[in-house]
């Protein structure tokens, strides 16, 4: 199935969790926030959030600085 992550279209297996997508894309789950189809998903829900075909995911990494 196709899923758009940060503007790029990817093919993933059906019934994949947000956590598995993050892992397959080699994105560190430290200091990130994810939005699926406009809904913010908290880190503790990544593993139980199943992504549907044509979903749009935005993943943002927070960095410190001043």
Is residue 25 in some structural domain?
A: yes
Is residue 53 in some structural domain?
A: yes
Q: How many CB atoms lie within 10 A of CB 32?
A: 14
Q: Where in the sequence is the domain holding 15, given as residue range(s)?
A: 2-61
Is residue 19 in some structural domain?
A: yes
Domain total of the chain: 1
pLDDT tens, residue order, the chain (66 aa): 999 999 999 999 999 999 999 999 999 888 899 999 999 999 999 999 999 999 999 999 887 776
- pLDDT of amino acid 66: 62
Q: Give all strands (DSSP E) within 1-66, no chain letters.
A: 2-5, 8-11, 16-17, 32-36, 39-41, 50-51, 56-61
CATH number, position 7: 3.10.20.30
Is residue 66 in some structural domain?
A: no
């Amino acid at each position: 199935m196709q899923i758009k992550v940060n503007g790029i279209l990817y093919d993933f297996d059906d019934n994949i969790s947000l956590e598995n997508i993050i892992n397959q894309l080699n994105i560190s789950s430290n200091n990130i926030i994810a939005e699926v189809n406009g809904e913010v998903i908290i880190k503790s829900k990544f593993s139980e959030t199943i992504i549907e075909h044509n979903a749009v995911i935005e993943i943002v990494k927070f960095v410190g600085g001043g």
